[in-house]
């Protein structure tokens, strides 16, 4: 059985001391690959460093909505440079977060749209963060004409999920589905081939590890919950979500690895 944790922030300081153990535990649980996701230029570079250090780790580069108003002029050029790395598989995370509004919504929207357009131009999938911003996230995808990406850490309703899928985008689930009842309908109704699994480590630790720091090995609990809700075996969910991830993040498959 193989799983892909499609979204984790394992460059955090808290992980630094035992990163080897965290990678090993993930492998022991059948996690084949981990995509570590940048939220600004510095963390994007750190993601690439981890990808260079560990065979199973891949990176993204992007500017998170929380960081949008700190993005330096010319950040798109820097992202474009980073995106040429062989283990850089997506642009993001980008998006809109109106729950916290750490950056002004107007700035969030500009930085989001610029990255959606750049991802499209570079033919790389977009990793999108969406919190209390469904309408504008969807509008951005539609207006950019970008049809390749994922709305990660899905936390909204079935109607929104279906509109996202209509654009060509995918949906990815975190440990939230193990304890948020309202999400069960979405897991049950959307096509299995449109969904992926992630931990969003260090956040959102799934049941039965709630309250503890999350890590990629726990992605198995997300797959198990999907299996339970769909009446499938864990292995089937692992296989289908892995195929979807390999298909969407196509650079996962074609890079030559040195160890």
Window contacting Zn ion (CB under 5 A); options: 43-51, 126-134, 158-166, 213-221 = 126-134
Residue 131 as a binder of Zn ion (CB under 5 A): the answer is no
Task: State the nearest-atom distance from the C-beta of 201 to Zn ion, in Å.
Answer: 9
- How far, in Å, CA of 177 to CA of 239, rounded? 19
Residue whose CB is less far from Zn ion, 129 or 170: 129
Q: Taking CB under 5 A as the rule, which mask of x and - marks residues 164-183 in contact with Zn ion?
A: --------------------
Spatial contact of 91 and 80, defined as CB atoms under 8 Å apart: no
b/e code 211-247 from CB counts within 10 Å (16+ = b):
eeebbbbbbbbbbbbbbebeebebeebbbbbbebbbe
- How far, in Å, CA of 230 to CA of 240, rounded? 13
Residue whose CB is less far from Zn ion, 203 or 234: 203
Element (H, E) at 248: helix 234-248
Residue whose CB is less far from Zn ion, 98 or 232: 98
Q: Whose CB is nearest to Zn ion? A: 129
The residue within the footprint of Zn ion, chosen from 33, 85, 120, 129 (CB under 5 A), is: 129
Spatial contact of 188 and 230, defined as CB atoms under 8 Å apart: yes
Residues in the interface with Zn ion (CB under 5 A) total: 1
φ/ψ (deg, to 5) at 237: -65, -45
Task: State the nearest-atom distance from the C-beta of 97 to Zn ion, in Å.
Answer: 8
Window contacting Zn ion (CB under 5 A); options: 105-113, 127-135, 161-169, 208-216 = 127-135
Residue whose CB is less far from Zn ion, 169 or 256: 169
Map residue 130 onto helix, strand or coil: strand
Task: State the nearest-atom distance from the C-beta of 31 to Zn ion, in Å.
Answer: 17
- How far, in Å, CA of 195 to CA of 6, rounded? 11
> What six digits make up the tokens of 193?
């081939």
Task: State the nearest-atom distance from the C-beta of 249 to Zn ion, in Å.
Answer: 15
Residues that bind Zn ion (CB under 5 A): 129
């Amino acid at each position: 059985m193989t799983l892909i944790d499609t979204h984790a922030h394992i460059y955090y300081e808290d992980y630094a001391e035992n990163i080897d153990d965290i990678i090993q535990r993930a492998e022991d649980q059948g996690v084949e690959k981990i995509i570590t996701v940048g939220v600004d230029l510095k963390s994007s570079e750190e993601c690439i460093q981890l990808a260079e250090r560990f065979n199973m780790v891949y990176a993204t580069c992007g500017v998170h909505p929380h960081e949008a108003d700190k993005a330096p002029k010319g950040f798109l050029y820097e992202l474009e440079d980073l995106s040429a790395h062989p283990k850089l598989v997506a642009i993001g995370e980008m998006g809109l977060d109106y729950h916290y509004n750490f950056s002004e919504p107007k700035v969030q929207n500009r930085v989001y749209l610029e990255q959606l357009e750049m991802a499209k131009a570079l033919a790389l999938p977009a990793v999108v963060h969406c919190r209390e911003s469904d309408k504008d996230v969807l509008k951005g995808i539609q207006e950019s004409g970008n049809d390749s990406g994922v709305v990660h850490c899905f936390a909204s309703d079935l109607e929104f999920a279906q509109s996202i899928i209509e654009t060509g985008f995918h949906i990815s689930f975190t440990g939230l589905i193990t304890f948020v009842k309202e999400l069960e309908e979405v897991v049950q109704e959307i096509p299995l081939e449109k969904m992926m699994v992630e931990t969003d480590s260090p956040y959102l630790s799934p049941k039965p590890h709630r309250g503890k720091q999350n890590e990629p090995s726990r992605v198995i609990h997300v797959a198990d919950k999907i299996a339970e809700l769909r009446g499938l075996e864990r292995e089937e969910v692992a296989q289908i979500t892995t195929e979807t991830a390999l298909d969407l993040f196509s650079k996962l498959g074609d890079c030559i690895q040195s160890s």
